[in-house]
Amino acid sequence: MLIAYNWIDFDHLDRLFFLNQAFLVSFLGATVMALAVVPYAKRRPKGTPSSWGEAMLGAVYVFATMFLAFGVAPHQFIDHADSNLKWSKGMVIYGPGDILKPKEFGGPFPFTMSYEAIRDIFVVVIHLWYFGLMVFLWSYWQKRGDGTKSTEVATSTFGRPLVKKG
């Protein structure tokens, strides 16, 4: 006898806060674009001069990444929460078992919290994620190549390599 249980309610998947194509593509795209700096930093030695074209290309890339991260992704989440999920100031959170039901509606919770506040908290978390990622990547870029050992051999005043006898 086979008993099957539908763990995911496929009829209401559009109600899940994270399932929005525009938000997911912008969020993951900005994260991947930001993390693509790590392999590039491993290839580019510290102190290498850059041309005008490289500097402009790098500036456009960083601007596009930050535009996606701090502009498009939060906007797409706000748009999804407002239009698809209908998270507005009028939707009050009661919580499981009405533990968050506010006192003004006969519940134990001391203040009224709406879904709009939850939406804004999610947007702040998105901003914090990208801010932390950017600080990490700036630090990583500045410290690239600091921990590697030099392959140059010390030379004497006459220009000959100094080698230990073994």
pLDDT tens readout for residues 105-160:
888 889 888 899 999 999 999 999 999 999 999 999 999 878 766 667 777 777 77
Question: Is the whole-model pTM more than 0.85?
Answer: no
The pair of three-digit structure tokens given for residue 37, joined into one six-digit string: 């700096």
Domain-embedded: residue 75: yes
Strand partners, 102: 109
**Sign (positive or negative) of CA dihedral 17, 22, 23, 28:** positive
Q: Is 9 within a domain? A: no
Say if CB 20 and CB 80 are below 8 A apart: yes
Asked whether residue 58 is assigned to any structural domain, the reply reads yes
Per-residue pLDDT for 1 more than 70? no
Number of domains in the chain: 1
Helix orientation angle between 52-67 and 21-35, rounded to the nearest 10 degrees:
150
Give the span between the Cα atoms of 75 and 30, in whole angstroms. Answer: 13
* Domain annotation covers residue 11: no
Average pLDDT, stretch 62-74?
97
Flag whether 12 is in a domain: no
Residue tagged 């109600």 (tokens): 15
pLDDT of residue 63 exceeding 80, the answer is: yes
